[in-house]
Copies of this chain bind each other. A is one copy, B any other.
Amino acid sequence: MITIYKPTKEEWIGLIKRPIITTESLNESISTVLKQVKDKGDVAVENYTSLFDGVQLKNFRVSKQEIEEATTSVSQEIKEAIKIAASNIKKFHQSQIIQEEKVETTEGVNCWRKSVGIEKVGLYIPGGTAPLFSTLLMLTIPAQLAGCKELILCTPCNKQGKVNEVVLYAAQYLGIDTIFKIGGAQAIAAMAYGTETVPQVYKIFGPGNQYVTKAKELVQAEGVAIDMPAGPSEVLVIADEVADADYIAADLLSQAEHGTDSQVVLVTTTRQKISEVTEALEKQLEELPRKDLAIQTLKNSLMIELSTIEECIAFSNAYAPEHLILNIENAEKYIDLVINAGSVFLGAYSCESAGDYASGTNHTLPTNGYAKSYSGVSVDSFVKKITFQKLTKQGLKNIGKTIEVMAEAEELIAHKNAVSIRLKKLSNE
């Protein structure tokens, strides 16, 4: 890891920069995929699945039988873990559903908001080496709590046409039965435009590779909503002198194993901690199956010494990490200093993997500094908040003049008339 002692504020600017990932070159090829699927529907999806994933599918909807088979082959241990995690995720996300009160802003003028689930939602779960069934929990549970009526899932299959069985089991456990074994940009296109087989949705959620990300970006520009912009996963750990170096190393490695574009950052007030953690990393690395991946990531990662915890948090705010671990004494004391972060883990026992899987918080979080302006996924991500208003006759009389004056000042006379015509009739009553 790259070690920097007491960098100046000017040096921070370089340190908070993420590796630049240019995907400009994908614009054309992914636009073509989108257009083909839009125009030719299922046929185009099948062709691309054959071309990119190397599998010929006759029917890309997962059958009941496939789901049943998955259910019987998943171990009881995994089923039990999914049950517990789902229960915690549900408990936490349920607390996000809050009935807002009506507000009488002026006598006779009542205004309120109502949350309504987005009707049609599409979830994407990548295939590949690690089958991210945990992400399926993180997206499905808030969607269901939000009241989304139609929930579909796209996830790629392997060359034998099979979808990972834990993903299928989790889908079945959660009650999703509209599952398509397609991936990549063609899956995003199918959900954005709809095909003969895949229903069109209004919002698309879920992580993916650069093709998926680019496809989501392009359909967003056409008005299909997406969860948030994507970037490599990252963690920033702030540690004081009492923090256990083994814990810090383990937390850094749990991020480093995600992929070589991941970022892990340690910021500490103690120079001694940097050497302790370096030693612990070396020891723990030896036993990791993804050791080579992790080593690569660590090469681009940072260990920074700063003077105070307050300064460490200021650096973290400038970096805006997806995950922030405050492995420090009295971590709660510093909560109000945290401005930019996706999810914050307080103290020695709140490791990132807790939030990744089972504590109940969502793990779909803003990366790449997006925590400066974006929130992680929550029930909010699956609803629209519609405003309602009801003016009584008296209510309109009370604010009518205000509306008339403002509309006239904006030179919108028909806006004014909509009030004037009513006030006139009311005055004749």
Please give the residue numbers on chain A whose beta carbons come within 8 Å of chain B beta carbons, in ascending order.
Answer: 77-78, 80-82, 84-85, 87-88, 91-92, 95-96, 98, 100-101, 103, 105-106, 109, 111, 113-114, 116, 118-120, 129-134, 166, 202-203, 217, 220-221, 223-225, 229, 231, 244, 246-247, 250-251, 253-254, 256-258, 284, 287-290, 294, 331-332, 335, 338-362, 366, 368-376, 378, 380, 383-393, 395-396, 399, 401-403, 405-407, 409-419, 421-422, 425
Whether the Cβ atoms of B414 and A343 lie closer than 8 Å is no
A361 to chain B, nearest CB (A): 4
Inter-subunit contact A96/B113 (CB<8 Å): yes
Chain B residues contacting A251 (CB-CB under 8 Å) are 418
8 Å CB contact of A355 from B244, B284, B343, B387: B387
Q: List 11 A-B contacts (CB under 8 A).
A: A78-B409, A92-B105, A109-B359, A131-B410, A223-B369, A253-B414, A257-B414, A287-B417, A353-B403, A360-B389, A371-B386
**Residue picked from A118, A346, A349, A378, most chain B C-beta under 10 Å:** A349
Tell whether, in the assembled complex, residue A406 and residue B357 are in contact, meaning their CB atoms are under 8 Å apart. Answer: yes
B349 and A392 form a contact (CB under 8 A): yes
Report if A389-B414 is in contact (Cβ < 8 Å); known contacts: A96-B100, A103-B95: no
Check A393/B349 contact, CB under 8 A, given A244-B425, A373-B384: yes
Q: What is the minimal beta-carbon distance from A377 to any residue of chain B, in angstroms? A: 10
- CB contacts (< 8 Å) of A92 on chain B: these are 103, 105, 111
Known pairs A118-B373, A380-B380 / 16 extra A-B pairs, C-beta < 8 Å = A84-B106, A84-B402, A103-B360, A113-B378, A130-B412, A221-B221, A254-B414, A284-B414, A287-B417, A343-B387, A351-B418, A358-B406, A366-B384, A371-B384, A371-B386, A376-B387
Question: What's the minimum C-beta distance from A118 to chain B, rounded to whole angstroms?
Answer: 5
CB distance from A375 to the nearest CB of B (A): 4
- Please tell me how many copies of the chain the complex holds: 2
Contact pick for A202, options B132, B373, B375, CB 8 Å: B373
Q: Note all chain B residues with C-beta closer than 8 A to A388.
A: 335, 343-344, 346
Cβ B406 vs Cβ A373 within 8 A: no
In the complex, which of the residues B221, B224, B250, B372 contacts A418, with contact meaning CB atoms closer than 8 Å? B250
B391, A385: Cβ atoms closer than 8 Å: no
Nearest CB on B from A168, distance (A): 13
- With most chain B CB atoms within 10 A of its CB, the pick from A105, A251, A335, A350 is A105
User: Closest residue to A367 on the B side, CB-wise?
Assistant: B223
Whether A373 contacts B129 by the Cβ 8 Å rule is: no
Residue in contact with A416 in the complex, picked from B225, B294, B349, B353, CB distance below 8 Å: B353
Q: B250, A417: Cβ atoms under 8 Å?
A: yes
CA distance A233 to B362 in the complex (A): 35
Q: How far is the CA of A353 from the CA of B340 in the complex (A)?
A: 37
A96 to B105, CA, bound (A): 13
- Taking CB atoms, residues of chain B closer than 8 Å to A383 are 375
Q: Which residues of B contact A254 (CB under 8 A)?
A: 412, 414-415, 417-418
User: Across the interface, do A246 and B129 meet the contact criterion of CB distance under 8 Å?
Assistant: no
Inside 8 A of A100's CB, which chain B residues have their CB?
95-96, 98
Shortest Cβ distance from A84 into B: residue: B402
Would B344 and A417 count as touching, CB distance under 8 A? no
Task: Tell whether A361 pairs with B78 under 8 Å between CB atoms, given A250-B414, A294-B414, A389-B343.
Answer: no
Closest chain B CB from A240 CB (angstroms): 16
> Are A405 and B353 touching (Cβ within 8 A)?
no
